[in-house]
Amino acid sequence: MRKALVTAALLVASPALADSLLPPAPLADVQLADPNQERQAKALMETIRCVVCQGQSIADSNAEMAGDMRSMIRERIQAGETPDQIRAWMISRYGEWVSFQPPVEPKTWPLWGLPLLLLIAGLLLIRGRLRLRRR
């Protein structure tokens, strides 16, 4: 019985243990002094997916990893890199999945083409239904 209680307590406490005790990254929640650089950083952060939350951008996520990624972006913009260079670096480091704006290339054609095909199919279906009603 005691073993089961200890196991249950550990399972309940495990999410609390997932957060590290490290301080946040230096520029995770601190805006850059230059408003133009901060605007570039924010725009880029909204297009980068949080690798922990997966459905949120790093601009919206409270995950520790998202804070680290925000800090990396701000540091690189402060160092003079362009948002396109930083995006390329993020993609090389985390994979294309990290970008909310996937490139148009042969392996992503279904991603771009499927919505168009579904729209065309829907329009053809509506057209067919309207023809049946007219008869």
pLDDT of residue 43: 96
Q: What is the Cα–Cα distance from 124 to 130, expressed in whole angstroms?
A: 10
Furthest C-alpha separation in the chain: 75
Domain harbouring 46, CATH code = 1.10.8.640
What does pLDDT average to in each consecutive run of 10 residues of the chain (135 residues)? 74 56 80 94 95 89 91 96 95 90 79 89 94 85
How far out from the chain centre does Cα 54 lie? 6
Q: What is the Cα–Cα distance from 78 to 105, expressed in whole angstroms?
A: 31
Q: Under 8 Å CB-to-CB from 60, ≥6 apart: which residues? A: 46, 50
Task: For residue 55, give both structure tokens.
Answer: 């459905």
Query: Residues 80, 35: one domain?
Result: yes
pLDDT of residue 69: 94
Domain count within the chain:
2
Query: Residues 56, 37: one domain?
Result: yes
Angle, helices 64-78 vs 83-94, to 10°: value is 140
Q: What is the Cα–Cα distance from 96 to 88, expressed in whole angstroms?
A: 9
pLDDT of residue 118: 94
Q: What is the Cα–Cα distance from 11 to 84, expressed in whole angstroms?
A: 42
pLDDT of residue 5: 73
Query: Residues 29, 95: one domain?
Result: yes
What is the extent of the structural domain holding 122? 104-135
Query: Residues 39, 85: one domain?
Result: yes
Query: Residues 97, 110: one domain?
Result: no
Query: Residues 94, 112: one domain?
Result: no
Query: Residues 66, 94: one domain?
Result: yes
Query: Residues 132, 73: one domain?
Result: no
Query: Residues 43, 54: one domain?
Result: yes
Give domain status of residue 10, yes or no: no
Query: Residues 73, 108: one domain?
Result: no
Instruction: Report yes or no: 52 and 65 within 8 Å, Cβ to Cβ.
Output: yes
pLDDT of residue 111: 78
pLDDT of residue 13: 57
